[in-house]
Chain A
Amino acid sequence: MQEYILHRLLLLIPTVLGVTLIVFLMMHLIPGDPVSLLLGDYYTQEVADAIRQEYGLDRPLYIQYGLWLKRMITGDWGNSIIARRPIFDDLIRRLPITVELVILAMSVALLIAIPAGILAALRPYSWHDYGAMTTALIGVSIPEFFMGVLLILGFALAWNVLPAVGYVAPTQSVVGNLSHMILPAVTLALPRAALLTRLIRASMLEVVRLEYVTTARAKGVRERSVVLKHALKNALIPTVTVLGIQIGFLMGGAIVVETIFSVPGVGSFGVAAISLRDYPQVQAFVLLVSLSFVLSNLTVDILYAFLDPRIRYEKEVD
């Protein structure tokens, strides 16, 4: 098991490096650089060259990338070219907010999907089943930006039970924090809940028909234990796999949701950086997102090994 985890951790490095290299090259391929934006109508070659030299933008790409990598490793994430502020400070302040949003969204998605998926599987072709599937279809069909506005109009405007937008830190008020994060989290969660509901339903349908489940029932095991202890654990294996992939989509969705709800996370930070061609900021953002993606997949892989002992034993045997 330890060997398995170490192997996966080592794979992290080339994966992250590969992602950052690709994005670095792409940023330099798209038209425009921050110097054009900074100088605007007063662009002269002399001044532009001086600014490029100051920011190291006049060097060959491979040197720029190498220098950036070296600074990252030593903890110097540099300054934003446009805002002239340390990138690390801004990111570190914003990252926990996005992480909180993603965790809440995933929790809400699972809270919806697991019971709905189980119920749909245990009562196939009933109104429980049709209801769950129809709701899942709606959830996956409505885009996040539209769903977000709908929820605001309903919960904030019409019923006035939740705040429309904004963010309160949990250190200021836990209740305030949760009340501000519910709507963004639900907006982000619904499409995922839809997908997971369908997946859990399909997995459960398959598992409950297996012989060991029939045997458990025949032995007189309580239905609750049959479903939750014997069937669900196996049914969750593919779900866990999909969860890891969904983390990536959640980070992408967080960009839209953070913009609508004015949540000060890394998503909105990254979008602004791209439109302003703020290279150091974009690279830092991409590094962070790719690390999150890779680490979440790693967590899923490890969880997978715990859920399915055959994976652990196979490795040990090897």
Chain B
Amino acid sequence: MVRERAGRESELSRREFLVTTGGALAGAAALALVDPAEAGKRRPGRGGTLEFATRLDAAGLDSHRNNQYHTSHPIAAIYTGLTDINQKGEIVPGIAVSWEPNKELTAWTFRLRKGVLFHNGREVDAEAVKLNIQRIQNPTIGSSWHRGAVEGIDTVDVLDKYTVRFKLSVPDASLPANVMHYPTNLQAPEAFETSAEHPIGTGPFKFVSWTRYSLTELVRFENYWETDAEGHNLPYLDRITGRPKKEDSVRLTALRTGQVNLVDNMAYADVERFIKDYSARFNTWRMHLGGVFVVFNFRQGPFQDKHLRTAAALAIDRQAIHHAVFYGQGDMLDQPYPKGDFWHLEGSRSLEYDPDKAKTMLKQLRAAGTGIEIICNANLAYNRQCGEVIQDLWSKLGLKVTLKPLDTVPLLQARDAGDFHALIQGNSYRFDPDGFFARNLHSKSDYAKVLAGWQNPRYDRLVEEAKKILDRDKRKELYTEAWNIVNDELPHFHLHELTMISAAAKEVKGYQPCVMGPFTHHNGGIRTAYIEA
């Protein structure tokens, strides 16, 4: 009896096995045709509302006109791009699953993920990508920042529904970084005209409402394509409420009283004490945002003299800035990328603080008492404070220094007109070094022309060469050689890293921002965050 039963059972088991396996195979085949967003399920027990207080807020909702900063504008959560970044800041597939260049790096072909939807249900296809790029390139629509990212794209060809090819005017290894969601985010083409009031993106959250510097409301996008490692649909959160609060102390108070559960941009002066006193209740993260540097004007003024520039650079005490401006947060920098980043140039040589040598040089030049005008951004505390420290250091050197903090628009005008001797300038992190070395210093770059206005053919050739190579180590060698030219001729003199310290209540689980600051990144950030009940 037992044997019969066993046999019958094993017969049933075989039948059952075949049915199950056949079903599984059929299901697997069906899955390939089914929208990937529908295939996964939502992870149970993970949800909640993230109340996110930020220092900044977007100026407008049209992401092609107004910067949607993915470290400080909650609204940036509604967008993704062709490529994405991971927690380390590396470029990874996003809406595009793969991309490859031609041999000369003058054309890049991107293959799109099937079934990715805009928030209005329209599928993201090659035509939508083309329309987005064309819109960004329109000078009456795309802001300078957005257009700069895609300016090298000559034409966009739709090869088939899910394949798009960008033809470039010059070879460019950096394109994959430039089509990441910041700044090249994708909007639904049929919603272009209303994007200033109701933007439609492809990101993990959908737009609900926005009142500038008051409230941003986003809700989970149920058909978002990304899944976690177990195949559950992301994001976990039900909602994000952005509550911008300009005052740092007010933002921190809101966190401590429980009104919000995540804040960005903790004031440097508050960091050490906050971590010491509240680490039991809150998590903190320190991220690299960019850097701050001095621009010496080559177009006019006393800094056209290399010896004077060198003396001025030798008189800058980065330690003083490190303590007085940044309260010891972050590192001193003598180049764009910090230590630990792949693009940090170990072989570069920079001038170190040497006030005695600076004074000797100034004496030899007979330049004591030379009038110097520094301009800086009145609205950015770190920018203004760096200007104040440098004014003090140069005054002690023997120069007659005036510091002019200017509002954004007059600053841009003074800068563009070359109406300054030195400028305190900040930069955000560039996911590809070409975005820094070429954009900021190549003689043909419009941006470089309105900064130092420096021209060096050898530097240009090195940077152009680096742009044509995919081998990162080789590129790094070229950038190192180029940076040594910069350290010698001093169009720019780097001062310090810009860091951002964010904090969240311990109830916020699964959240870790990208090391460069973005709160939304591949399989992380707000996409995997949830609130513990």
Contact = CB atoms under 8 A, between A and B. Distances in A.
Interface of A: 31-33, 36-44, 47, 50-51, 54, 80, 82-85, 90, 93-94, 149, 152-153, 156-157, 160, 163-167, 259-264, 268-269, 272, 275-277
A149 B247 contact: yes
A42 B257 contact: no
B147 to A, nearest CB: 6
A279 B62 CA distance: 19
Interface stretch (B39-47, B410-418, B505-513, B520-528): B410-418
A31 B214 contact: no
Given A32-B410, A164-B259, A272 B213 contact: yes
Given A165-B253, A264-B212, 11 more contacts: A42-B139, A42-B148, A44-B139, A50-B139, A83-B196, A84-B65, A163-B257, A260-B250, A264-B211, A269-B212, A277-B409
Sort A-B residue pairs by CB-CB distance and give the 9 closest, nearest first: A32-B409, A264-B214, A40-B144, A83-B60, A84-B196, A42-B144, A47-B139, A31-B410, A41-B447
B213 A165 contact: no
Nearest to B410: A31
B257 A164 contact: yes
B247 A259 contact: yes
Interface of B: 59-62, 65-66, 139-140, 143-145, 147-148, 196-197, 211-215, 243-247, 249-250, 253-254, 256-257, 259, 379, 407-410, 412-413, 416, 446-447, 450
A46 to B, nearest CB: 9
A39 B143 CA distance: 6
| A interface: dominant SS | helix
A166 B143 contact: no
A40 B140 contact: no
A43 B148 CA distance: 12
A84 B60 contact: yes
A47 B446 contact: no
A54 B214 CA distance: 30
26 contacts: A32-B412, A36-B412, A40-B145, A41-B144, A41-B447, A42-B139, A42-B144, A43-B416, A54-B140, A80-B60, A84-B196, A152-B249, A156-B253, A157-B253, A163-B259, A164-B253, A164-B257, A165-B243, A165-B245, A165-B253, A259-B213, A259-B246, A262-B245, A272-B212, A275-B407, A276-B409
A223 B526 CA distance: 67
A140 B65 CA distance: 44
Contact of A83 (B61, B143, B214, B407): B61
Nearest to B211: A264
B447 A37 contact: no
A242 to B, nearest CB: 31
B139 A39 contact: yes
B250 A84 contact: no
A85 B65 CA distance: 12
B254 A40 contact: no
Contacts of B245: 165, 262
B381 to A, nearest CB: 15
Contacts of A43: 144, 416
Nearest to A274: B407
Contacts of A269: 212
Contact of A164 (B144, B145, B254): B254
A40 B447 CA distance: 9
Given A42-B147, A165-B245, A37 B412 contact: yes
A176 B257 CA distance: 16
A169 to B, nearest CB: 11
Contact of A40 (B247, B259, B412): B412
Nearest to A51: B140
Contact of B243 (A51, A80, A166): A166
B66 A82 contact: yes
Given A32-B410, A42-B446, A269-B212, A275 B379 contact: yes
Contacts of B257: 156-157, 160, 163-164
A260 B247 CA distance: 6
A160 B253 CA distance: 11
B246 A41 contact: no
A164 B148 contact: no
Contacts of B416: 36, 43
A277 B436 CA distance: 29
A40 B415 CA distance: 11
Contacts of A82: 59-60, 65-66
